Amino acid sequence: MTRAYKDPTADEAVGKICKEESRLELVISIIKLVCKLGGFKIIQRISLEDKKSGRRYD
């Protein structure tokens, strides 16, 4: 959906969420790579909590 006007508040919120999701994806990729290099595999979900925001990812 495109807007005909600028909404800096919404743009900032979406930008923060995208940045946080990118950090999460990077951390998950690193964890998977370390497990693979060590000869392990993840068999259950991993729960993470962002130290800055307190947001939990289960």
Closest CA to 50 of 20, 25, 26: 20
* Two structure tokens written together for 25: 């994806």
Task: Read off the pLDDT of residues 8-44 as tens digits, 9 standing for 90 and up.
Answer: 787 777 777 777 788 899 999 999 999 999 999 999 9
Question: Model confidence over 41-57: pLDDT tens digits?
Answer: 999 998 999 998 899 99
pTM of this prediction exceeds 0.85: no
